[in-house]
Structure 1
Amino acid sequence: MSHTEPADATPARTTAPTDQPHNVPDFEVVLEADEEDASSDGEANSIRSSTASISSSILGYRIENGRTYHKYKDGKYNMPNDEREMDRLDLQHHMFLLSFDDKLGTAPPNEPEAKVGRVLDVGTGSGIWAMDFGDAHPEAEIIGIDLSAIQPEYTPPNVKFEIDDLEEPWTYSQPFGYIHSRLMNSAVSNWRRYVQKCFDNLEPGGYLELIEVGPFLRSDDGTLKPEHSVMKTLMLLVEASQKLGAAYQDPKELKSMMIDAGFTDVVMQQLKWPINPWPKEKRYKELGAWNSQNMDDGWEAICMAPLTRALGWTREEVLLMMVENRKDFKDRNIHAYVSM
């Protein structure tokens, strides 16, 4: 297995399970702070009307607190699907490329000479990963699924997008050689069932790559305190996710779930995204600068629906809380990072 897998980005092969699966040790990097920087016509009309109604429910959207959300399976996912969020997801995709040395992932199918058949991109969002993978692997057939029909109309010929709910039964006619699942925390109600479903839909020797974020920021030097406003908000988000039926999953537990499902050669490695450019090392300082923009653009999207839907907050209360949170995000004396 590749030695560059990010923690909680866990590719694995679906080779036959053994009594003692070979598991590569976890890896972790330590960041150093930069001291210099703190039929009849009637029937036909009825059919057309029904079809239009179905199309509207699947392809439509609705507005809530100034943001647009998916209409299909209304309310099931908490993140908006508007242009602001699509731009942020594309920025976030760039951050993953920086983290993975310009690769689209860390599982073997992402190696330059790798050949792969069918690929499933779960929660494809803007579709940027699926399209990039399709361009890089013209031999592959890529399917991207999402609750929102927000992907581009014109795509590589080997890429197609489907509107689907990952928690419904999967009815694919053929298994996949590679399943890519990125940042689905708070969108999956039962991770053990989800991992098993992925295993069951992979061909022998296929790979699953899970790239997930934990619910809390961390710091290695104690500069992030429980009393910081952003930590209090994260506690509220955890409470809200539980009430909404999709509690945050600790990514560290995914490795054992994969082994239990039958995966072998499971690799887990930690990836750290600083909240601002506080690190001394150039690579992490750059990631911190990008993540500062990522959090600035995305914090409202992350907080608004869970806090208003589950905890009864008003939009104004959420926005007021975010003012204090952003002070923490910009403070270079807080050496915090997002753990991936």
Structure 2
Amino acid sequence: MTTEQLETELVPDETETVSSTQSLSCSIVDYRRENGRTYHRYKDGKYNLPNDGLEAERLNLQHHLFLLTFDDSLGLAPPNKAKSEVKRVLDLGTGTGIWAMDFGDEHPEAHPTFVPPNVEFFIDDTDEEWNHSAPFDYIHSRMMTSSIGNWPDYLKKIYDNLNPGGYVELQEADLFLSSDDATLHPTQPLPYCLKLMVYGWDRERVLLFLVDVRRELNDTGIHAYWPVYSIYARKPKV
């Protein structure tokens, strides 16, 4: 999770910052390794995607694809427009932080204190209780489809942490590929690969199967796409 412009008085002093960073290095950065990839140790097993350099590249590419989809906009909700004057913004499931950093650069009205210069990152579990110092003007949530165990509870937390008149935007994509011209069938390797975790295949069998997946990814005769959704809403002012 990422917050834009935390309150100054709640930012730890220099000594506390060093201590906090050292604690982070020892406990959370002790990543679990599996099949040549690294995974979060924090709440081990709850988040099923890696956190290494390859995953960072994928997340940054995913961010670029969203920009292309939204005509170079970070979102469709009104806070993304120029001169929107939002002060506090929360980016849930921030990944590499690229969305939050881009938003901070586009909205200098979120008072500068940190890098880049108005963004601060912290690690937490969205399924647990939220303890923010103040509500937000805009909460952004993207590609959290497989990360939320209780969506009604998640949306209630978002609502409770919005200022009156504040906005929430959910950007999600269907996990399963679609095709309108029958060039992609459910039994082909490309859509089938999303189901591999439940079959318990060994590493060698998965790697062999991925040869066909990569071939289909490069096959221009397959006209496949992921439907993308942007849903935003505003909390009543009164």
- TM-score interval, smaller chain: 0.7 to 0.9
| Separation in 2, partners of 1:53, 1:159 | 21
Equivalence for 2:29: 59
* Secondary structure at the counterpart of residue 28 of structure 2: helix
Segments of structure 2 that go 5 or more residues without pairing to the other structure are 1-20, 229-238
Equivalence for 2:115: 155
4+ long deviations beyond 6 Å: 51-54
| Separation in 2, partners of 1:93, 1:71 | 25
| Separation in 2, partners of 1:52, 1:126 | 20
| Separation in 2, partners of 1:311, 1:226 | 16
- How far does residue 54 in structure 1 lie from its aligned partner after superposition? 6.9
Deviations 1:306-326 (A, max 9, x none): x2xx54222222212211122
* Secondary structure at the counterpart of residue 212 of structure 1: strand
Is 1:177 the equivalent of 2:137? yes
For these two proteins, the number of residue pairs brought into alignment is 207
- TM-score, length of structure 2 as denominator length: 0.80
Is 1:324 the equivalent of 2:215? no
* Secondary structure at the counterpart of residue 211 of structure 2: helix
| Separation in 1, partners of 2:205, 2:150 | 31
Equivalence for 1:193: 153
Deviations 1:227-284 (A, max 9, x none): 32223233x25xxxxxxxxxxxxxxxxxxxxxxxxxxxxxxxxxxxxxxxxxxxxxxx
Equivalence for 1:220: 180
Equivalence for 2:14: none
Deviations 1:177-209 (A, max 9, x none): 111111111111122221121111111111111
Deviations 1:118-176 (A, max 9, x none): 1001111111111111111112269xxxxxxxxxxx82121100011111110112111
Higher relative contact order (CA 8 A, sep 6+): 1
| Separation in 1, partners of 2:111, 2:35 | 38
- Give the root-mean-square deviation of aligned CA atoms: 2.1
| Separation in 1, partners of 2:134, 2:34 | 38
Does the Cα contact within 8 Å between 1:134 and 1:141 map onto a contact in 2?
A: no
Equivalence for 2:167: 207
Equivalence for 1:315: 203
Percent identity at matched positions?
59
- TM-score, length of structure 1 as denominator length: 0.57
Using a 3 Å threshold, how does the CA distance of structure 1 residues 167 and 197 change in structure 2: closer, same or farther?
same
Equivalence for 1:86: 56
Deviations 1:198-224 (A, max 9, x none): 111111111111111112110112222
| Separation in 1, partners of 2:160, 2:79 | 19
Name whichever of 310-319 and 106-115 sits farther off: 310-319
Amino acid at match of 1:91: L
- Greater CA radius of gyration, 1 or 2? 1
Amino acid at match of 2:43: K
| Separation in 1, partners of 2:184, 2:132 | 45
* Secondary structure at the counterpart of residue 122 of structure 2: strand
- How far does residue 60 in structure 1 lie from its aligned partner after superposition? 2.6
Segments of structure 1 that go 5 or more residues without pairing to the other structure are 1-50, 143-153, 238-306
